Amino acid sequence: MSKTFETLAVHAGEDRDAEHGAVSVPIYPASVFAFPNADEASAIHNEERPGYYYGRLGNPTTAALERTMAELENGEAALAFASGMAAVSAAVFSVCRTGDHIVAPASMYSTATNLFHFLKDHFEIETTFVDATNAENYGSAIQSNTKLFWTETPSNPIVQITDLAAVANIAKASGITTVTDNTFATPYNQRPLELGIDAVIHSATKYLGGHSDLTAGVLAGNADIVNTARQKASKLFGGNIAPQVAWLVLRGIKTLALRMERHNENAFALANMLVKHPRVEAVYYPGLESHPNHDVAKKQMPGFGGMIGLDVGTIEAGKTLVNNLKLCTLATSLGGVETIIQHSASMTHATIPRKDRIAAGVTDGLLRLSVGIESFDDLQADFEQALEKI
Ligand SMILES: *Cc1c(COP(=O)(O)O)cnc(C)c1O
């Protein structure tokens, strides 16, 4: 039976027979699993037979999360990590070696940008940063040593959209691996693997967990990439998720479809309210017809997500807005049930030189808004009263 996303989100990863009928996946805290005899020990140890033996290398609770994410992303396999950045670095190190070349967006999650700079300084893996709103820029940046196209769409923090099918086509013609950071969209709003992308990563800290109460990451995609990550990155660098946290992510995923439906609705309505407000200079939301890549977003996303970028002009105006919002929380993360706002220029990007910050799309008055699942009327009223103070 082919299942809808809503049904999969509730039931994916279940193995009731193996778990005595437990309706909630049990948490296995064990870091060590015993073998019945020497031959079994040898077979499991050498991966001739499936089985668990040591915490860093696999756990039944973690495996349930991995099966769930493989199903939700429609991928062959998945691997869970202790953070989104552990998933990002595992993906990169599984694909690239010294001397290789990466193409990545000029505007994206800033810690990923910093990782790519670090790779150049420490491992001679160089990255060309391109305007990812035009897929052809990936093709133009190809060198003989290009191994990886990194994409992040919608992107952090200005919600840019990359045409994933177009990037995947360019990559396939040149034997280049493609990875998408699917954190902002979640598989409810976008399934990159179905568009030809080889692997996705998630910061499960955000929408998958959904309650601002855990840190985790996931890699999902083609079996060869995920298996390399399992055999190499995960095994050698560590970064495995704790089974207790894997269980919390699974708990979050059960309501992912419901939450995303409301995030989509609230953000769409709020973006349409903000775009008409005289104190707001710009609104970045892929669901707005004024968004430069609205057509691409419509093609590859059934919903436009809960993330909005808005610009109120100056650092002072940005600070005044966040200081006067009463319902919206001033904080740096996103994807939780509560509405969170961040003023990037005075927070995440405060130590970055202004010129570099603006080049990455972070203007003085830019705010990143993660629209929660509260009542839209309350959110609208909060913004109306706070915008009056600017
Ligand atoms: C938060 C985030 C990450 C990093 O995830 P952590 O769980 O904080 O390590 C990566 N990509 C995007 C788009 C994010 O928002």
Return the domain boundaries, the chain.
5-254, 258-387
pLDDT-derived band of residue 359, with 50, 70 and 90 as boundaries?
confident
Query: What's the distance, CA 103 to chain centroid?
Result: 18
Q: Which of 102, 108, 112, 148 is nearest to 132 (CA)?
A: 108
pLDDT-derived band of residue 187, with 50, 70 and 90 as boundaries?
very high
Distance 48 CA to ligand 1 centre (A): 35
Correct CATH for 5-254 of 3.50.7.10, 3.40.1160.10, 3.40.640.10, 2.120.10.30? 3.40.640.10
Q: Whose CA is nearest to atom 7 of ligand 1?
A: 84
Least confident segment among 276-280, 360-364, 377-381:
360-364
Q: How far apart are CA 261 and CA 189, in angstroms?
A: 9
Structure pTM?
0.97
Q: How far apart are the first and last CA of the chain?
A: 55
Region 288-315 average pLDDT: 97
Contact 254, 72 (CB under 8 A): no
Residue located via tokens 């669901």: 287
CATH no. for 258-387: 3.90.1150.10
Q: Whose CA is nearest to atom 5 of ligand 1?
A: 84
Contacts of residue 356, defined as CB under 8 A and 6 or more positions apart, other chains included, come to none
Q: Which of 316, 317, 289 is nearest to 304 (CA)?
A: 289
Q: Say what percent of the chain tops pLDDT 70.
A: 99
> What confidence score (pLDDT) does residue 2 get?
66
Can 181 be counted among the known catalytic residues? yes
pLDDT-derived band of residue 1, with 50, 70 and 90 as boundaries?
low
Q: Whose CA is nearest to atom 6 of ligand 1?
A: 84
pLDDT-derived band of residue 353, with 50, 70 and 90 as boundaries?
confident
Contact 136, 163 (CB under 8 A): no
Can 198 be counted among the known catalytic residues? no
Distance 85 CA to ligand 1 centre (A): 6
Within 6 A (CB) of ligand 1 lie 83-85, 109, 152, 156, 181, 183-184, 203, 205-206, 215, 217
pLDDT-derived band of residue 64, with 50, 70 and 90 as boundaries?
very high
Q: Which amino acid is at 41?
A: A
Contacts of residue 298, defined as CB under 8 A and 6 or more positions apart, other chains included, come to none
In degrees and rounded to multiples of 5, residue 120 shows phi and psi of -70, -50
Q: How far apart are CA 356 and CA 264, in angstroms?
A: 31
For strands 340-343 and 329-330, give the pairing.
parallel
Distance 179 CA to ligand 1 centre (A): 14
Q: What is the pLDDT of residues 255-275, one digit of tens each?
A: 999 999 999 999 999 999 999
Can 191 be counted among the known catalytic residues? no
